[in-house]
A and B are shown apart, each in its own frame.
Chain A
Amino acid sequence: MGYQLNFWALAGYLSLFAQGAGTTLALTAIASTIGIALSIGGAATARWGVRWARSLIAAYVELIRNTPFLIQLFFIFFGLPSLGVRLTALQAAVLAMTINLTAYSIEILRAGIESVSRGQREAGLALGISPVAVFIYIILPQAVANVYPALVSQIVITMLESAVVSQIAVVDLTHVADYIQSRTYRAFETYFAITLVYLCMALSLRWLLARAGSKLFLGRSG
């Protein structure tokens, strides 16, 4: 016993905190944007695609959802170079996060699409709108509005899970913590402070996205 907690040791590293948090947020933003864009296509394919495309999407979703993110990351970063695909740590992290998020959000969006009543599509087609336009302008907005909270949690989960990318030496918030604790020998204080930063980021991200959602889907969500 007799250990004295000392948070002042961290005071000199505040700019590193900010840098790490910036990287974590940027990774999350990129992976979420690409991932959700891809999963819109994926969900539409899973719903209306030809048979082999549907099975392909289903296999992809199951494979990703039933293996740990850490292993996906290691496979991409350490395994792919033997196929000649050489990625920097940052690229590997973005790729792994995107692939992971896409699998989950395909499932979420698919549920959203199924929650839109059939009549919407039929009415759109009957008005002579092309199937693609019916999907983009009529079905998709309602589908997204219906599952928006689930999408938001998935984005927050992606941000929290991204802590793992520190393991392939991406300088994110967790990696910053590893660095600081190796300099100050204040492991507990460092990780405690960084955990609080993550908590603040998660809470504010959720709040911000929820607010954006209530503006976007004003009076539309069911």
Chain B
Amino acid sequence: MISLSVWEILHFLLLAARWTLLLSAIAFLGGGIAALLLLLLRYARPRWGATLARYYIELLQGTPLLLQLFLVFFGLPLLGIEVSPLLAAAVALTIYAGAFLAEIWRGCVDAVPRGQWEASAALGLNFLSQMRYVILPQALRIAVPPTVGFLVQLLKATALSSIVGFNDLTRAGTIVTNATFQPFLVYGLVALIYFAMCYPLTVCSRVLERKLGSY
């Protein structure tokens, strides 16, 4: 047992929180790209694309993230890919975020009036140009608040990466707890740090919703 001052513990935890932020950022970027592809798949002409996207989303939203993480962690090595905890967590969270963001954004695209599709088609725009110049810019406006809201969910979800051994905030909390035997203090601080990262996003999402929400 080591005794550490509260400041030393906090310092150690804050250093680890950077990894939580990094992982969230990677997963958000990766998930955003995946969601965009799923979105295109959903509205593009061959209809089987939409079915495929729907099954993908249903599958990812109907299974626990922890098991998705395990499947990536134990599955990639079977394909001959060496996985570090960061890689496994990044891949799993990207797949997870892709499904959720695709579902959120679909709602926003559906909210764009049908006439916009018809008008842009009548102007001779092809599918990608329709999306790029007409539909997505309008959908973006209403997509911002729920997307920021999802960021909170994603940030919290990164806590699971500690289970496959990634040194994020949660794992740092476990390590410090094992060293100091002060779980109440340490997990309390960990919770507060998560709160300090998530709450501003929650507030931000709410304010944006009020500002941009009226369509």
Contact = CB atoms under 8 A, between A and B. Distances in A.
Interface of A: 1, 3, 5, 62-63, 65-72, 74-75, 78-83, 156, 160-164, 166-167, 174, 177, 181, 187-188, 191-192, 194-195, 198-199, 202-203
A71 B194 contact: yes
Contacts of B94: none
Interface of A is mostly: helix
A91 B32 CA distance: 38
Contact of B63 (A67, A177, A202): A202
Secondary structure at chain B's binding surface: helix, strand, loop or mixed? Answer: helix
Interface of B: 59, 62-68, 70-71, 74-75, 78-80, 152, 156-157, 159-160, 162-163, 170, 173-174, 177, 182-184, 187-188, 190-191, 194-195, 198-199, 202
Contacts, number: 117
A188 B78 contact: yes
A67 B194 contact: yes
Given A65-B202, A75-B188, A188-B75, A194 B67 contact: yes
Contacts of A191: 67, 70-71, 74
Contacts of B190: 71
3 tightest A-B contacts by CB?
A: A163-B64, A68-B159, A78-B183
20 contacts: A65-B152, A66-B194, A66-B199, A67-B156, A67-B198, A68-B160, A68-B170, A70-B170, A71-B187, A74-B170, A75-B187, A82-B184, A156-B62, A160-B64, A160-B65, A164-B64, A188-B78, A191-B67, A194-B67, A203-B62
Contacts of B152: 65-66
Given A195-B68, A199-B63, A167 B163 contact: yes
